């Protein structure tokens, strides 16, 4: 690591904080003295509060394991019943019909900005792996964009962002993650604070000169406490950098049970900075398994049987739209990762039609926009939202006064018509093995079964695998999910995956290790909270090409 002393720290009394960070080619440009000083201040001011927050997360999780069900907080009834609104969205976030999520490499960033979407979300979280080179190269790419230096040569031709490019948003990592490559007094900084702090300290002034500002997507909220901590971080950062209050704007992913019961509280805590809530369905279902891992009555069926029209998922979506519009916030629908087959469109036509159906439903339900992982499906989503919105930038006026959602609506999953089948069990094994096998090589966005998948899918798949094995459920075939059955299916699915990928692609991943880890986690007495945390020490550094990704 490179050792250095932060200069220019403005705490009282002023101190020079010792820091250490791993070397990288982009480190001198990204981690300047001013930036490292800002990061050190963030760490000292907010790390104690983060640790208190994480302790609260742990305590809440323990309470759920003893049978305590989540509910709307009675102490905030008055807040939920009173009339208030968040600050209006800035000009370049008023229209968010289509949002494209993607990698943070220079080429991915440029192509995302020029994709035709209204928003491009550069993702340091579920679509990326926490490899130092990926993180710093991504920050350098964002820095180049705001400084009007972003250009990429493709097939000998230099490309730059178009004049009407998408609005850039940055998704940080969650509060539960550390950044081990940057330490203050030998303590790793919060990954959230690192991703946010580097971006803000480097680009605040440049973004304003460019006629925009800094916009962030914030993930993995468990409730209002997450929002309150972020509100403190945002307010302090604006004061520290001399920015007007409300300059930095954020959107929040609602992807846990706790956050679903605290949408009003999250919006209120961030009312001067927030613009939207996003429905993160895969992570939401993963949260279901984690929250109720010991409750046999809350077993999820085959994932194929769970969709936006499943009653408890539809209740979640409708509550999000209703809550957002009542408070003046945008509601952003769930993500689609379908990869259309450009050579044989008929092969993926059913999946493409499902994208159209889903986006038509979202627009009809009142969502103001939606998210996609593939630029090829942007026109489909744009068409469905154009059909409903017409000339309007959004549909905040659609208040959905017909929506009344109770705790029971959000938690009653037995209304699902799905079953637990061997096919579903095989899919969970295969999908998780496929994704984690590439994740261990430093790849965070993986094409699987004509979908571009991120860590959320793998987390859900391996959690459901654990749930079915832990509770020894009986499949529709009459067979019980035992260790012997799981062993056999792992052998068969490993062989099947190897055959379908081919030896060349198989050699690019670490699928045997992924299978070994998955099999071990499945037999644990408790569900592993996050595989991304458990396997980070095993991550390989990707190739020197910062756009390292798997061909679709």
Residues annotated as part of the active site: 171, 454
> How would you classify the pairing of strands 157-159 and 152-154?
antiparallel
Q: Which residue has the tokens 């998922």?
A: 313
Report the candidate in 216, 174, 191 with the shortest Cα–Cα distance to residue 135.
191
Dist CA 484 CA 541 (whole Å) = 35
Two tokens at 293? 């891992």
CB 43, CB 179: distance < 8 Å? no
In the sheet where 187-190 sits, what is the strand order? Answer: 2-5, 18-21, 178-184, 187-190
Report the candidate in 481, 484, 447, 442 with the shortest Cα–Cα distance to residue 465.
481
**Running DSSP on this structure, what letter comes out for residue 262?**
T
Beta bridge pairs of residue 249: 215
Two tokens at 438? 């590439």
Helix, strand or coil, per DSSP, at residue 121: strand
Q: Which residues contact 136 (CB under 8 A, 6 or more apart)?
A: 24, 26, 27, 30, 31
Which residues of 113-247 form beta strands (DSSP E)? 119-123, 152-154, 157-159, 167-171, 178-184, 187-190, 215-218
What is the chain's Cα-based Rg? 23
Two tokens at 435? 């994704």
Dist CA 380 CA 452 (whole Å) = 17
Q: Which residues contact 346 (CB under 8 A, 6 or more apart)?
A: none
CB 250, CB 217: distance < 8 Å? yes
Dist CA 413 CA 93 (whole Å) = 35
> How would you classify the pairing of strands 215-218 and 167-171?
parallel
Q: Which residues contact 395 (CB under 8 A, 6 or more apart)?
A: 325, 366, 368, 388, 389
CB 60, CB 258: distance < 8 Å? yes
Two tokens at 201? 């300290």
Dist CA 294 CA 196 (whole Å) = 35
CB 230, CB 268: distance < 8 Å? no
Question: Residue 304, preceding bond cis, omega within 30 degrees?
Answer: no
CB 433, CB 404: distance < 8 Å? no
For the chain, the straight-line distance linking the first and the last C-alpha, in angstroms and rounded, comes to 36
Alpha-carbon torsion 499, 505, 507, 508, what sign? negative
Count of H helices and E strands in the chain? Answer: 20, 16
């Amino acid at each position: 690591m490179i050792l250095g002393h932060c200069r220019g720290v403005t705490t009282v009394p002023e101190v020079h904080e010792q820091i250490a960070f791993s070397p990288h080619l982009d480190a001198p440009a990204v981690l300047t003295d001013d930036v490292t000083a800002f990061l050190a201040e963030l760490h000292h001011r907010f790390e104690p509060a983060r640790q208190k927050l994480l302790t609260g997360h742990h305590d809440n999780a323990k309470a759920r394991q003893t049978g305590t069900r989540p509910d709307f907080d009675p102490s905030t009834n008055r807040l939920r019943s009173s009339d208030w609104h968040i600050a209006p969205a800035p000009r370049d976030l008023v229209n968010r019909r289509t949002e494209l999520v993607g990698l943070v490499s220079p080429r991915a960033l440029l192509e995302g900005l020029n994709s035709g979407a209204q928003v491009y979300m550069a993702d340091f979280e579920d679509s990326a792996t926490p490899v130092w080179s990926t993180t710093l190269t991504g920050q350098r790419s964002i820095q180049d964009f705001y400084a009007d230096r972003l250009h990429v040569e493709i097939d000998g031709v230099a490309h730059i962002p178009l004049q009407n490019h998408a609005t850039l948003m940055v998704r940080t990592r969650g509060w539960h993650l550390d950044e081990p490559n940057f330490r203050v007094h030998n303590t790793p900084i919060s990954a959230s604070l690192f991703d946010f702090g580097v971006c803000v300290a480097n680009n605040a002034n440049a973004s304003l000169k460019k006629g925009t500002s800094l916009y962030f997507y914030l993930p993995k909220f468990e409730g209002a406490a997450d929002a309150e901590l972020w509100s403190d971080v945002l307010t302090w950062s604006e004061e520290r950098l001399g920015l007007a209050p409300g300059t930095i704007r954020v959107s929040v992913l609602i992807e846990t049970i706790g956050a679903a019961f605290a949408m009003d509280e999250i919006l209120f805590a961030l009312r001067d900075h927030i613009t939207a809530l996003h429905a993160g369905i895969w992570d939401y279902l993963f949260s279901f398994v984690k929250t109720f891992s010991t409750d046999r009555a809350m077993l999820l069926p085959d994932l194929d049987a769970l969709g936006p029209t499943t009653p408890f998922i539809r209740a979640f979506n409708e509550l999000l739209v209703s809550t957002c519009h009542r408070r003046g916030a945008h509601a952003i629908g769930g993500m689609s990762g379908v990869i259309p087959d450009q050579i044989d469109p008929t092969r993926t036509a059913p999946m493409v039609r499902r994208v159209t159906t889903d986006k038509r439903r979202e627009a009809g339900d009142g969502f103001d926009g939606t998210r996609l992982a593939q630029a090829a499906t942007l026109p489909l989503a744009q068409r469905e939202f154009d059909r409903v919105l017409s000339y309007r930038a959004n549909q905040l006026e659609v208040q959905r006064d017909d929506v009344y959602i109770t705790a029971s609506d959000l938690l009653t999953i037995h209304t699902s018509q799905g079953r637990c089948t061997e096919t579903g069990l095989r899919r969970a094994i295969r999908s998780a093995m496929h994704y984690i096998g590439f994740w261990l090589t430093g790849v965070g966005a993986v094409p699987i079964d004509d979908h571009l998948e991120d860590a959320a899918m793998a987390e859900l798949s391996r959690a459901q695998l654990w749930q079915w094995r832990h509770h020894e459920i009986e499949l529709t075939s009459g067979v019980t999910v035992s260790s012997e059955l799981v062993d056999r299916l792992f052998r068969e699915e490993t062989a099947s995956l190897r055959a379908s990928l081919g030896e060349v692609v198989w050699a690019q991943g670490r699928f045997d290790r992924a299978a070994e880890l998955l099999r071990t986690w499945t037999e644990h007495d408790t569900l592993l909270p996050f595989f991304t945390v458990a396997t980070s020490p095993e991550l390989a550094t990707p190739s020197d090409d910062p756009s390292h990704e798997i061909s679709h």
